[in-house]
Chain A
């Protein structure tokens, strides 16, 4: 195995993690990562001059993930669009439209954004999103696709997409509140996680 191949192999787990977060299907994720690794090994010269191997590989992976989504779009668009029967609005708002529990002050964004631990909690919270919500959230926020592209790829209506993204964001907010902002030790930690 060449040095280049070995370097790529050490990054495979990281690639797989994001592929799984995006596709929510272990077999498809494996395929996307294998395609990425093969593409990289076939064209090592494409990497020359680029600063970071991981950055480059994640970039290739993103394209392979979109390929996977296209390949499986039929199955993805018929995935039950709603795994969660819970009415989040019921939980958040009283009948008159007022907050049941007022949102908390999350403080200075910079304070948490520079902590690696916060990124890990964020990732864990994205992982906890129900399948289709998580997939759509990742397409929007991680693959940075426009909403009309997502609708076209998955053949879903804009309204359906907005409802799902809406739910995903409310869930994410809940999860961050619970697992980060309600943890007193995180608030006093400062920036030692910076890297």
Chain B
């Protein structure tokens, strides 16, 4: 198994993590990639923001 992931693969995994728990080894590979990549951590923060935005939106729709 190759250890290094491409940005494209990391993106796929980060999005998958929204809907299922990733195996430990995948999470470690992501963390490894994040240490050496500049754009992917920003993508991860964007995904986190969207996740919080959905939660805020659910709340807003009932207000």
> Could you tell me which A residues sit within 8 Å of B by CB distance?
18, 52, 54-55, 58-59, 89, 92-93, 96-99, 102-106, 109, 112-113, 116, 118-119, 122-123, 140-142, 144, 147, 161-162, 165-166, 169-170, 172-173, 176
Find the residue from A140, A166, A169, A172 having the highest chain B CB count within 10 A: A169
The chain A residue sitting closest to B38, CB to CB, is A102
- Pair A98/B6 contact, Cβ less than 8 Å: yes
The chain B residue sitting closest to A166, CB to CB, is B15
CB neighbours (8 Å) of A169 from chain B are 15, 18, 47, 50
**C-alpha gap A104/B9 in the complex (Å):** 19
Q: CB of B23 within 8 A of chain A? A: no
The answer to whether A106 and B49 touch (CB under 8 A), given A97-B9, A113-B56, A142-B54, is yes
How many B residues touch the partner, as a band?
A: 20 to 34
A-contact bits for B28-63, CB 8 A (1 contact / 0 none): 000000000011101101111110111011101111
The answer to whether A142 and B7 touch (CB under 8 A), given A52-B63, A103-B43, A104-B42, is no
Partner of B56, one of A93, A119, A166: A119
Dominant SS among interface residues on chain A? helix
CB neighbours (8 Å) of B50 from chain A are 169, 172-173, 176
The chain B residue sitting closest to A55, CB to CB, is B62
- Pair B9/A119 contact, Cβ less than 8 Å: no
- Pair A141/B16 contact, Cβ less than 8 Å: no
- Pair B52/A109 contact, Cβ less than 8 Å: yes
**C-alpha gap A176/B47 in the complex (Å):** 11
CB neighbours (8 Å) of A52 from chain B are 62-63
- Pair B19/A93 contact, Cβ less than 8 Å: no
- Pair A119/B60 contact, Cβ less than 8 Å: yes
- Pair A54/B38 contact, Cβ less than 8 Å: no
Partner of A99, one of B15, B39, B49: B39
CB neighbours (8 Å) of B49 from chain A are 106, 109, 112-113
